[in-house]
A and B are shown apart, each in its own frame.
Chain A
Amino acid sequence: MSLGAIAAPVSTSPPPSRKRRITLPTALLAIAGLILLFALVRVLTGAEDLASSGTIGAAVGLAMPIGMAGLGGLWAERAGVVNIGLEGMMILGTWGAGFCGYQWGPWAGVLGAIVMGAIGGLIHAIATVGFGVDHIVSGVAINIIGLGAAQYLAALAFTGVPNGGPTQSPPIGDLPSITVPGIASAAGDLEANDWFFISDLARVVRALTAGVSLLTIIAVGLVVLTWWVLWRTAFGLRLRSCGESPSAAESLGVNVYKYKYIAVVISGGFAGLGGAFLAIVASSVYRDGQTGGRGYIGLAAMIFGNWRPGGLLMGAGLFGFTDALQLRSGGESVHALLLLVGVGLLAMAAWQLRGKRRLAGLVTAVIAVAFLVWFLATEEVPQDFSSMTPYVVTLLVLALASQRLRMPAADGLPYRRGQGS
């Protein structure tokens, strides 16, 4: 908020829009800048796996479950229902994928996962919308039920099945993956040449064109579809109005209960789809404890993305990337990332100081120097530290940017028809 806006609150002319639209050229420029930065860090540190096509491919694969869970959270919270139960719904989804997947093929597994997740969503909807139970309480209960139900059903369905066991399903078939002919192999050649920047660009292109699972493409499509449905259709407007001001929506004749039910069931379906990713694409079996808290990270990605699909995708990508780094070469790559974070924070400090925000700029600069010292003083980051990266990043983003985040106004509040406040 600028001082001028406070001094002159009754101005008739509309205030100049502070919101900058991100146009295609600036987005492309930002991506190019990012790749350049990565190329520099790679050359300086010699961490070859930091942004290899393998790492990026793994990052995309790991980002998708988180992104789908986050998308589930987005649907529910845009309709005003907080969904802590994403984790439980995701667990149900992994079981559904395993159960249907090994018997009737991977696509049936995807469907089964969505259905199981949606059942979890329905329970959440009945509790929170139907009975007005506190959303967090219901979510916690669903996480307990989801975990128990999946393990109970797994023991029931997979014990004694060939290649299966009480905690693991038989293997699920692979989903088709797509390689764009020509481009992928050309990019592969370029990547092998090890030219500064061009090879780095080629790595990204290759990761995005070679062996991409069809489900990944569908998932990205679903993010776009979600944006279109929620922000460009009457249905979406009504659904969002239930999250912003349900009594106002009610006064305009919107059946708030119906929209909330639909949103929460869809939310569960998306969480289940996230589970399908883990079971089918990432590992090709159902296993107990497969989600590893990714439902929660999905929720964090959604908050990181300011309750918007684009931001959510960015958050999921960031978490998927740190996850992939840690899985592939652990300490070395994350160590190289320290330099990246340090440089990035220095740039941010400079920007803050230029904008006359001295204190914030100084704090950022100190943190940046700390990162750089850490980078110079050590050889690699312990594995446990890299596994906590997504969570620390989320906390930092929340702590630094919580004033810029805006959740739906009636998010998490109970609603009963005819009792609007």
Chain B
Amino acid sequence: MRFDPRRVALTLAAPVLAIVAAVGIASLVLVAAGDPVAEVWSTILQFPQPRNLTNIINNASTLYLSGLAVAIGFRMNLFNIGVDGQYRLAAFVAAVVAAQGWLPGPLNIVLTIVVAMCVGAMWAGVAAVLKVTRGVSEVISTIMLNAIATALVAFLLRKASVQEAGSNNIGTAPIPESSRMPGLSLVPDAPNQVNSFIIVAIAAGIAYAILLNRTVFGFNLRATGRSETAAVASGIDVKRMVITAMLISGGVAGLVGMPLLLGEAYSYGLTFQTGLGFAGIAVALLGRNNPIGIAVGALLFAYLDEQSNPLQILVGVSDEIVKIVQGIVVLTVVIAYEVVRRYGVAQEQRNVARQLAAQRHRDAAEVSAP
């Protein structure tokens, strides 16, 4: 592909436009609410402390996995809204299995991860089978499966839990010391450590890029996403693609809870983080399903989350403002891409029209002067 500065400018214009618009709208909200705009932004934009930087990296790698899971579906027009339920169910089952300590040390970690991926894939597979055999929209079925997973996990948790002494929190038994993933001291001077699951996250990103861009399966997947009728015409078994894509998406979704389980919480309890799947949708949209773009989106979301924590104490503004910013970013990103795309198409049409006019002019000149 030829390097075209205008193309690059157009590609970069959209995210920049989106973030500027989101900041503008959020500022308007702050002004309308009578909150100190400048203080809010200066708190959010100050350089994070080493401790916060570690947190940002950790949260970003979790969000990255969630974003990847959603993106695999997106690439073939499948909306896996069920990542949330998939990772929670997967993390719960994996926590139960890991706590048994059937295998020694690191092998137990591998088993835990495999179990999580299988459970996530299975839960996503329900939606896939319903779509393929009964024509049920995966959007609705995964929303329902999220709610069912919530109830199912609550039920199973009550069965499998051990009460922590002196607290209302119930959770699974903690996983053995030998099966916990060690932290990495990546950030200098930080009191806390980077979760080593980041390696798995990066590997998953590379695998995603290779799978989509360098394999027949990836080509079929993207082709189906672009045009299902064309895919059918070229002999792609769309039903099988739907099932496979959904299973992979669910498998990656199963990984989402692993950094928390293996590197931080060591058990699944009532306080296990929820809502990561929905954040993953936003992150995937932000990154345009591109492995590097998703990483940028995940870092941005993790950064906003971490930096907004002291807002309530320092400035007296509810940190929920960041949720608004995140929602607006999702909306403005897609709008900005659409606007930029329309602008690009209009430009192209104008170019073509100009060239055609010139051509006609030349032809006319040749006819009139034989």
Smallest beta-carbon distance B177→chain A, Å: 32
B338 & A133 in contact (Cβ 8 Å cutoff)? yes
Task: Determine the chain B residues whose CB is within 8 A of the CB of A136 once the complex forms.
Answer: 79, 81, 139
Q: How many angstroms from the CA of A387 to the CA of B151 in the assembled complex?
A: 7
**B334 interface residue per 8 A CB criterion:** yes
**B158 interface residue per 8 A CB criterion:** yes
**A216 interface residue per 8 A CB criterion:** no
B29, B152, B321, B331: the one within 8 Å of A384 (CB): B152
B148 & A392 in contact (Cβ 8 Å cutoff)? yes
A399 & B140 in contact (Cβ 8 Å cutoff)? no
Q: Which of B136-160 contact A (CB under 8 A)?
A: 136, 139-141, 143-145, 147-148, 150-152, 154-155, 158
**A141 interface residue per 8 A CB criterion:** yes
**B255 interface residue per 8 A CB criterion:** no
Q: Which of A256-299 contact B (CB under 8 A)?
A: 293, 296, 299
Task: Determine the chain A residues whose CB is within 8 A of the CB of B334 once the complex forms.
Answer: 127, 131, 133-134, 137-138, 141
**A344 interface residue per 8 A CB criterion:** no
A152, A156, A385, A400: the one within 8 Å of B323 (CB): A152
A141 & B282 in contact (Cβ 8 Å cutoff)? yes
B326 & A148 in contact (Cβ 8 Å cutoff)? yes
Mostly, the A contact residues are helix
Q: How many angstroms from the CA of A166 to the CA of B312 in the assembled complex?
A: 11
**A395 interface residue per 8 A CB criterion:** yes
Q: How large is the interface on A (under 10, 10 to 19, 20 to 34, 35 or more residues)?
A: 35 or more
**B221 interface residue per 8 A CB criterion:** no
Q: How many angstroms from the CA of A166 to the CA of B320 in the assembled complex?
A: 11
A152, A296, A388: the one within 8 Å of B324 (CB): A152
Smallest beta-carbon distance B307→chain A, Å: 15
Q: How many angstroms from the CA of A294 to the CA of B29 in the assembled complex?
A: 27
A395 & B130 in contact (Cβ 8 Å cutoff)? yes
CB-CB under 8 A for A395 and B141, given A136-B79, A141-B330, A151-B318: yes
A152 & B318 in contact (Cβ 8 Å cutoff)? yes
Q: How many angstroms from the CA of A368 to the CA of B150 in the assembled complex?
A: 26
Task: Determine the chain B residues whose CB is within 8 A of the CB of A155 once the complex forms.
Answer: 318, 320
A132 & B318 in contact (Cβ 8 Å cutoff)? no
Smallest beta-carbon distance B34→chain A, Å: 8
A384 & B335 in contact (Cβ 8 Å cutoff)? no
Smallest beta-carbon distance B79→chain A, Å: 5
CB-CB under 8 A for A142 and B134, given A133-B338, A153-B33, A387-B151: no
Q: Which of A113-150 contact B (CB under 8 A)?
A: 123, 127, 131-134, 136-138, 140-149
A131, A148, A300: the one within 8 Å of B322 (CB): A148
Smallest beta-carbon distance A232→chain B, Å: 29
A145 & B140 in contact (Cβ 8 Å cutoff)? no
Q: How large is the interface on B (under 10, 10 to 19, 20 to 34, 35 or more residues)?
A: 35 or more
A300 & B144 in contact (Cβ 8 Å cutoff)? yes
Among B158, B278, B285, B334, the one with the most A-chain Cβ atoms within 10 Å of its Cβ is: B334
Among B35, B147, B155, B281, the one with the most A-chain Cβ atoms within 10 Å of its Cβ is: B147
**B236 interface residue per 8 A CB criterion:** no
Smallest beta-carbon distance B342→chain A, Å: 8
B79 & A398 in contact (Cβ 8 Å cutoff)? no
**A391 interface residue per 8 A CB criterion:** yes
Task: Determine the chain B residues whose CB is within 8 A of the CB of A403 once the complex forms.
Answer: 135
A145 & B327 in contact (Cβ 8 Å cutoff)? yes
Q: How many angstroms from the CA of A154 to the CA of B145 in the assembled complex?
A: 30
Smallest beta-carbon distance A335→chain B, Å: 15
Minimal Cβ-Cβ distance residue in B for A135: B139
A384 & B154 in contact (Cβ 8 Å cutoff)? yes
Smallest beta-carbon distance B229→chain A, Å: 13
B147 & A293 in contact (Cβ 8 Å cutoff)? yes
**B328 interface residue per 8 A CB criterion:** yes
Minimal Cβ-Cβ distance residue in B for A389: B151
A131, A145, A385, A399: the one within 8 Å of B155 (CB): A385
Q: How many angstroms from the CA of A136 to the CA of B140 in the assembled complex?
A: 11
A131 & B33 in contact (Cβ 8 Å cutoff)? no
Q: How many angstroms from the CA of A147 to the CA of B135 in the assembled complex?
A: 31
Q: How many angstroms from the CA of A312 to the CA of B35 in the assembled complex?
A: 42
**B207 interface residue per 8 A CB criterion:** no
Q: Mark A370-400, 1 if CB is under 8 A from B, else 0.
A: 0000000000001011011001101100111
A156 & B33 in contact (Cβ 8 Å cutoff)? yes
Q: How many angstroms from the CA of A391 to the CA of B281 in the assembled complex?
A: 22
**A177 interface residue per 8 A CB criterion:** no
**A233 interface residue per 8 A CB criterion:** no
CB-CB under 8 A for A131 and B338, given A384-B158, A391-B148, A399-B130: yes
Task: Determine the chain B residues whose CB is within 8 A of the CB of A402 once the complex forms.
Answer: 134-136
Q: Mark A348-373, 1 if CB is under 8 A from B, else 0.
A: 00000000000000000000000000
Q: Mark B151-186, 1 if CB is under 8 A from A, else 0.
A: 110110010000000000000000000000000000
Task: Determine the chain A residues whose CB is within 8 A of the CB of B150 once the complex forms.
Answer: 388
A382 & B155 in contact (Cβ 8 Å cutoff)? yes
Task: Determine the chain B residues whose CB is within 8 A of the CB of A293 once the complex forms.
Answer: 147
B330 & A144 in contact (Cβ 8 Å cutoff)? yes
B134 & A399 in contact (Cβ 8 Å cutoff)? yes
Q: How many angstroms from the CA of A145 to the CA of B318 in the assembled complex?
A: 14
Q: How many angstroms from the CA of A136 to the CA of B142 in the assembled complex?
A: 13
CB-CB under 8 A for A384 and B324, given A144-B330, A300-B140: no
Smallest beta-carbon distance B211→chain A, Å: 23
B144 & A395 in contact (Cβ 8 Å cutoff)? yes
**A345 interface residue per 8 A CB criterion:** no
Smallest beta-carbon distance A116→chain B, Å: 14
Q: A148-B323, A155-B320, A400-B134 are in contact. List 7 more A-B contacts (CB 8 A).
A: A131-B334, A140-B278, A141-B330, A142-B331, A143-B327, A151-B318, A296-B144
A and B contact pairs by CB, cutoff 8 A, 12 listed:
A127-B334, A141-B327, A151-B323, A152-B320, A155-B318, A296-B143, A303-B140, A384-B151, A384-B152, A394-B144, A395-B144, A399-B130
